[in-house]
Amino acid sequence: MPLELVLMSLGTCSGSSVAALLRRMGRTVSALDVHASGVRREQHPTSFESIMLRFALTSPDVEEEDMRKAIQLSEESICPVWDMLKGRVIITTGFDIIR
């Protein structure tokens, strides 16, 4: 359960910062879902080897470049959970924009 809480924390932190950044850019965010999954290390202490974040954004006006920029800013300077994990865990991202 503790590792699942890490995924939930990362998903919540990154999702809320991405939504806030997009709104600050003047974009409409109707809904944003984040699916976080991870691959555990085999040896103890168990932790994640890698994490995949998949963002599903519902918006009439967000472009792919807007989404890339918001995710990058979240990683680099906004989301403290991401900051704690990067360098220790490989984190990859993907997104879908639903019109």
Identify the pLDDT of residue 43.
85
Of 95, 99, 41, which is closest to residue 69 (Cα–Cα)? 95
Structure confidence by residue, pLDDT tens digits, 8-20: 999 999 999 999 9
The reported pTM is 0.92
pLDDT of 15-52, one tens digit each? 999 999 999 999 999 999 999 999 998 888 888 999 99
Helices (H) and strands (E) in the chain, counts: 3, 3
Helix residue ranges, H only, the chain: 2-24, 64-73, 80-85
Question: Is 40:3 a contact under the CB 8 Å cutoff?
Answer: yes
Q: All domains of the chain, ordered by start, with CATH? A: 2-98 (3.30.300.20)
